[in-house]
Every structure is written in structure tokens, then in C-alpha cells.
Amino acid sequence: MPKTQRTPPQGFNVDTIRTPEHSPTHYGSDSDLNLSSTGTVKHDSLLNITKRAKRKFSDTPGCSADHLNEFRQMFEKLQSHQEAKFATLNSSIQTLIEQNTEIRKTVDFMSSQYDTLVNKIESVENENKDLKSHIKSLEQKVDALEKDSKSTSIELRNLPKLEQEDKHSLCNTIININTAVGSTSTLQESEIRNIYRTKTEAIVVEFTTTSRKEDLVQKYKIYNKEQRHANQPQLNTVTLNIPGPKKTVFLSEALTTKARRLYYLTRELVKNHKIVATWTSYGKVFIRKEENTPPVRVFDEGELANIVS
């Protein structure tokens, strides 16, 4: 295929374009490409190139000096505001640090005081334990002395007071009781060391020997037991020929304050059917929890509570 011969445009001078001396040198960032080195304009149809004018920084829209000053002032205000906040925050933190230091000192002081109080409480508790042990030992000694002093004594309750009552009449009453319960040995008035009525209207009888006291107490228990089995009334004022309404007479050995309290509690347990029986012997309190079981001696209220529970 033959090559196509293109015809240059009318009025176009090839030599003008290709001659180096007539060709302007284009380089750098000069955008005046439509000007020759002599400043003449070439053919408009060939070199239709326009210059792009560069924009200066000062001609940037919206960045005038007033605006820059305004921005600078705003930043300065913001910076001063932030510095004020930081100063306030720093002051608050310093205050918190000081308060924390004071709180720590207070806590340390309270901790030391607490340790001191704990030591004092432990000391008081130990002392209290020692005192309780000492008091218990003293109570046992007092109870032993009281028991020894009452080892020959009995108590009579529910006996009406006579119009002309004296020691002789009271001795006759005790002699009649000894006969009524079936004692084989006659009680002599000389065997009675002392006899008197207490503020609670009970009659206390002190014998000269422990055996005489024990014999009367045992005879009284046997008599009442036989009377119950025979569905007969127990020892009473009618049996003893004492004027007035019929009253049951109760006889028991004289107990210490501790034993009397304990015996009262055991009798209440019998009434409430918690135990089947209770009695005293030689100043000691015994109970029987169930039928056909061995008796148990009760020493104090705590032991009684444990036995019942």
C-alpha cells in the first residue's frame, strides 16, 4: 500500500519550524510557548498555546492578614484558656495529694489505736477468764463450807404456825413427825441442837448428829412412797394432829443456796415431764432422765441444761 502524502497547511513554512536558529528553546516552567526568542508571535494556527498565570500566595482567597491575626488571637486565647485549666487541674491534684496524705496519716493513727484496743480487749478477756475461774473456785469453797454447816439440818415446809409457838412446841412437832413416819428409834429433844422458823415460814431443825438427820429423812421418803402406792395421802397436818385445815407437810434436808436453786430447777423439769424423778442426798442433787436408767448427779445449771438437751 503506497504511503499517504500529507500536504502541510497553506502558508506553512517548514523551514521556519525546523531551522534551529528560528526555533525557540522551551524549558523550565515558562508557559509563554507562543512567543519566539525575539518576542514575536508565531502563526496562530500552529502555536495556539496560552500561558497559565501562576497564583501568588498573597493572592490566596480568604487568607488575608486580618484573618491570620484573628486566627492567631484565637489560638492565643485557646492556649491561655488551656493553661488556666491545667493550672486549676494541677492545683486540684495537689490538694488531693495533700488530702490523701492526711487521710493516710489518720488511717495509720486509727490502725495503731485499733491494735492498742485489740490488745487491751484481749488482756481484759484473759483477766475476765481468770476472774471467772477464781470466782468459780470461791463459790465451790463457799458451797462446801455451807454444805458442811448444814450437814445435820433439815427443813420443814407448809407447817402452820401455832398460836403459842416456841422451841419446845416445835421440838414436839418434830418428835411427832419422827413417830408418824415409822422411825424405830424414839427421837429425844436432847438430840435437837437448834430449831427455828425462817422468814419464809420454813422450820429449820439442826440435829446433833448426821445419822439422826439421815434416818429421819429416809423414813420420811419411805413413808410417802408407801402412801402413794396405797393411794393414801402423804404426810399432812391431820396425821400430825395439828389443828386447822389439812395441809401436806414437806420434809427435806437443808440445802445450800446453790443446791436449792438446782433442786428447784430439777423439780420444774419433772413437772414439765422432761425428766422422771429428782431427789437430794447428803446435800447433792440427783435426777433420773428416764425410767430404768441410772441416776445422774447434777453439779450446776449448765450441766443440767446439757443433760436435758
| Band of pLDDT at residue 54, cut at 50, 70 and 90 | low
Residues 228 and 200 in one domain: yes
Same domain, 188 and 231: yes
Q: At what angle do helices 257-271 and 301-308 cross, to 10 degrees?
A: 20
Question: Would 219 be classed as within a structural domain?
Answer: yes
Which stretch of 26-35, 56-65, 79-88, 141-150 has the lowest confidence by average pLDDT?
26-35
pLDDT at 6: 56
Binning pLDDT at 50, 70 and 90, where does residue 125 land? very high
Are residues 154 and 225 located together in one domain of the fold?
A: yes
In this prediction, residues 247-257 reach a mean pLDDT of: 89
Residue 68 located in a structural domain:
no
Same domain, 104 and 173: no
pLDDT given for residue 265 in this prediction: 92
**Is residue 238 domain-shared with residue 299, that is, in the same domain?**
no
Q: Give the three-class secondary structure for 110.
A: helix
**Is there a domain that residue 205 lies in?**
yes
Which of 148, 182, 203 terminates a domain? The answer is: 148
Q: Which domain holds residue 183?
A: 150-254
- Which has the closest alpha carbon to 248: 259, 240, 256? 240
- Better-scored residue on pLDDT, 65 or 61: 65
Task: Look up the pTM and report it.
Answer: 0.55
Q: Cβ(219)–Cβ(182) under 8 Å?
A: yes
15 within a domain of the structure (yes/no) = no
Mean pLDDT of the 20-43 span: 48
Among the candidates 148, 180, 204, a domain finishes at: 148
Residue 297 lies in a domain: yes
Choose the final residue of a domain: 238, 254, 270: 254
pLDDT for residue 252 is more than 70: yes
- The more confident residue out of 60 and 84 is 84
| Confidence (pLDDT) at 4 | 55
CATH for 246: 3.30.70.1820
Integer Cα distance of 155 and 28 in angstroms = 143
Are 170 and 262 in a shared domain?
no
Q: How many domains does the chain have?
A: 3
Question: Within a domain: residue 267?
Answer: yes
Q: Exposed (0-12), middle (13-18) or buried (19+): which is 146, by Cβ within 10 Å?
A: middle
Per-residue pLDDT at 279: 87
The answer to the question of residue 101 being in a domain is yes
Shared-domain flag, residues 144 and 220:
no
Looking at residue 81, its pLDDT comes to 85
Highest mean pLDDT of the ranges 35-49, 52-66, 120-134, 272-286: 120-134
Of residues 215 and 31, more confidently modeled: 215
Across 134-263, where does the E strand assignment appear?
153-157, 192-197, 203-207, 250-253
pLDDT score recorded for residue 130:
93
Is residue 23 pLDDT above 50, yes or no?
A: no
**Could you tell me which of 26, 21, 29 has the C-alpha nearest to residue 47?**
26
Q: What mean pLDDT comes out for the span 248-252?
A: 91
Q: Is the pLDDT of residue 114 over 70?
A: yes
- 230 or 42: which leads in pLDDT: 230
| Phi, psi (degrees; rounded to nearest 5) at 176 | -65, -40
Of 267 and 66, the structure prediction assigns the larger pLDDT to 267
Residue 128: predicted pLDDT: 94
Q: Residue 205 phi/psi, 5° resolution?
A: -120, 125
Q: Lowest-confidence range among 28-42, 71-85, 161-175?
A: 28-42
